[in-house]
Amino acid sequence: MKYPAIQNYVHGSFVNPSTSKTLDVISPIDGTLLSTVPLSSAKDLDDAVKSAAAAFPAWSRTPIKERVQVFFRYKTLLEKHLKELAELCSEENGKTYGESVAEIEKCIELTEFATSLPQLVTGEVLEVSRGVECRTEHAPLGVVASIVPFNFPSMVPNWTLPNAIALGNCLIMKPSEKVPLSCGRLAELLKEAGLPDGVFNIVHGDVEIVEAICDHPGIEAVSFVGSTKVAKIVYQRATSNLKRCLALGGAKNHLMVLPDAIPGMTAQNVAASMSGCAGQRCMAASAMIGVGNVDAIIDKICDEARKIIPGENLGAVINKASQERIEGYITEAEKNGAKILVDGRNAKVKGKEGGTYVGPTVIDFVTPDMSVAKEEIFGPVISIMRTNTVDEALAIENANPYGNAASVFTQNGGMARYIIERASAGMIGVNVGVPVPREPFSFGGWNESKFGVGDITGKSSIEFWTKLKKSTIKWNAEAGVNWMS
């Protein structure tokens, strides 16, 4: 085992959980046993909630300009340890080193946003009658929790961690049991940056801990990122316990390619979007709709896909089960009459035989009723459908239950606007294959890609992590007595 057994992080220290149940943490790159992750119990969660609750009074009363000083230092530490954090990210998740560097750079950007929060939460004040003012303040919620998926071991935790904490909350993080190592390093860096003990805690585990988070009376709000199936469970359970909840789910992102699209740029963008992070991104292009004759562009997409080599510029998928599921989708599509233009099944990487790889796969002549057209594949696979008109393409996009992202490739501005207005997705790209809004713009999908109000990052997250306090204030007797006294 490469690293020591993973522990929970409670009140500024790594501690053993109360149970001895563990899961192995295996590197998708080559099958190396990296560590074991504990499956904590409800008691372990309770210990973390008690620690966070004890830290809350002092932390929430620390002025926000002081709180964000921790994040200025944390940002510097992320920069200092970028290489090491990126290597750890690749090791546990399987993505390429370059993708991991980009992930840590995104953590830095998210942290920069958190340091700007004092500028954004100044509240409002107005003299509402003579000598009487109303003012609003953003008050923290208390102890809050963040449950995260496997595909971004550092970035998704940093969607919530800097903003929730800078806004005065104390946070419990539940990492994915598949990639639990990176969060521990983040905890160490936060401590080095001066974060008081108890403000950030980690409780490892799986279903049992997620359910315990949803049920714990000491937790005020739950943020979740993962599959739609689990997002629904978490949203329903947390809100039925009267907690605030924002649950981001899965995706099936459609790219609409029009005949006037710039062929080279479009092909590069489509291939990069479907294969980046081995297709394990909630913003990955998964379905492409060619409107009219786009055969020349499809040829170029295949050329680009063939340049993507597992183990070189394409990382591994998370585990064997994922590899089998993805290959199963390709085989089923083939049986149902689709044409496999580039086939990523049975990918092997020399010297890394224990790794779990799927090569880039381009499937043409997919029909909207096929599983590869409807379901999230979460692998480096693009399913191409064809229509005669933009409205038919939009009908396919609109009929899918998800709504994270959609993109259009065209040089016609009016047509792009037409599609922006009609696509049923929260994040739209025009000639951009992965339309992730960068800070300060917020991240969040629609439909079954998100349950709850608002978005998870950017300005929108302020509403989620705080509650408004409204004060009505009169100091001077000469303000007199009126209808609102």
* Residue linked to tokens 């080559």: 30
3-class SS letters over 270-323: HHHHHHHHHHCCCCCEEEEEEECCCHHHHHHHHHHHHCCCECCCECCCCCHHHH
Name the one residue in this structure whose structure tokens are 């904490």.
165
CB 30 within 8 Å of CB 352? yes
Span from 7-15, 243-251, 308-316, 367-375 in contact with ligand NAD (CB under 6 A): 243-251
Task: Decide whether 35 or 449 has the Cβ nearer to ligand NAD.
Answer: 449
Beta bridge partner(s), residue 290: 257, 386
* 147 part of the interface to ligand NAD, by CB under 6 A: yes
Q: Give the one residue of 56, 59, 71, 150 binding ligand NAD; rule: CB under 6 A.
A: 150
> CA torsion, points 427, 428, 429, 433, in degrees to nearest 10?
60
**Residue 409 sits in the site that holds ligand NAD (CB under 6 A):** no
Q: How far is the CB of 256 from ligand NAD (least distance, A)?
A: 20
- Among candidates 226, 272, 455, 261, which has minimal Cα distance to 380? 272
Place of tokens 């229509």: 387
Residue 134 bears catalytic tag:
no
**x/- string (CB under 6 A) for ligand NAD, residues 326-365?**
----------------------------------------
Pick from 70, 230, 256, 338: which binds ligand NAD (CB under 6 A)? 230
Which of the ranges 88-96, 147-155, 355-363, 408-416 carries the binding residues for ligand NAD, by CB under 6 A?
147-155
343 versus 375: smaller Cβ distance to ligand NAD? 375
Residue 225 contacts ligand NAD per CB under 6 A: yes
Cα–Cα–Cα angle for 441, 406, 448, nearest 5°?
85
Q: Which residue is nearest to ligand NAD (CB)?
A: 226
Residue 147 CB, nearest approach to ligand NAD (Å): 5
Q: Are 176 and 189 in contact (CB under 8 A)?
A: no
Q: Can residue 311 be called a binding residue for ligand NAD (CB under 6 A)? A: no
d(CA 295, CA 435): 24
Provide the minimum distance between the beta carbon of 159 and ligand NAD in the complex, in angstroms, as a whole number.
8
Report the distance separating Cα 215 and Cα 12, nearest Å: 24
- 179 versus 314: smaller Cβ distance to ligand NAD: 179
157 forms part of the interface with ligand NAD (CB under 6 A): no
The site for ligand NAD (CB under 6 A) is made up of: 147-151, 156, 174, 176-177, 206-207, 210, 225-227, 230, 233, 248-251, 282, 376, 378, 404, 445, 449
Positions annotated as catalytic residues are: 282
